[in-house]
Amino acid sequence: MSSPIQSNYPILRPFESVEHGGPVRGGSSSFADLLKRAINDASDLQDDAQEMIESFLRGDPVDLHQVMAASEEAGISLKLLVEIRNKLTEAYRSLANMQ
């Protein structure tokens, strides 16, 4: 028996629900909605990482490994969005070049 993958990365969650055949949020979501949600999740991760860095620099009780993990998570989500953009651009160009 295989169980669905549980992700700690919010940017990946919408794609897991589609992959397993279920609706994303109780209704039909378009690709644009999924993309907007992924962008918002990546932005939230960037904001959270920035807040943790600022807290650490102020001397608040934040562990360095938590700061580094949040920064890496935000970086990975941004890289994923860039790759999605690149693939969409590539797909658009190949469709535009079709005769």
Q: pLDDT per residue over 9-60, tens digit each?
A: 555 555 444 444 444 455 568 888 988 999 999 999 999 999 999 999 999 9
What the block records as the tokens of 41 is: 């999740």
Number of domains in the chain: 1
Question: Does the residue 91 lie in any domain?
Answer: yes
Domain extent for 74: 10-96
Question: Does the residue 1 lie in any domain?
Answer: no
What the block records as the tokens of 25 is: 């949020």
Sign of the Cα torsion 6, 19, 24, 15 reads positive
Question: Does the residue 77 lie in any domain?
Answer: yes
**Tens digits of residue pLDDT in 55-90:** 999 999 999 999 999 999 999 999 999 999 999 999
Question: Does the residue 4 lie in any domain?
Answer: no
Question: Does the residue 50 lie in any domain?
Answer: yes
49-83 in b/e burial notation, b at 16+ Cβ within 10 A? beebeeebeeeeebeeeebeebbebbeebeeebee
Task: Tell me the C-alpha distance between 13 and 7, whole Å.
Answer: 7
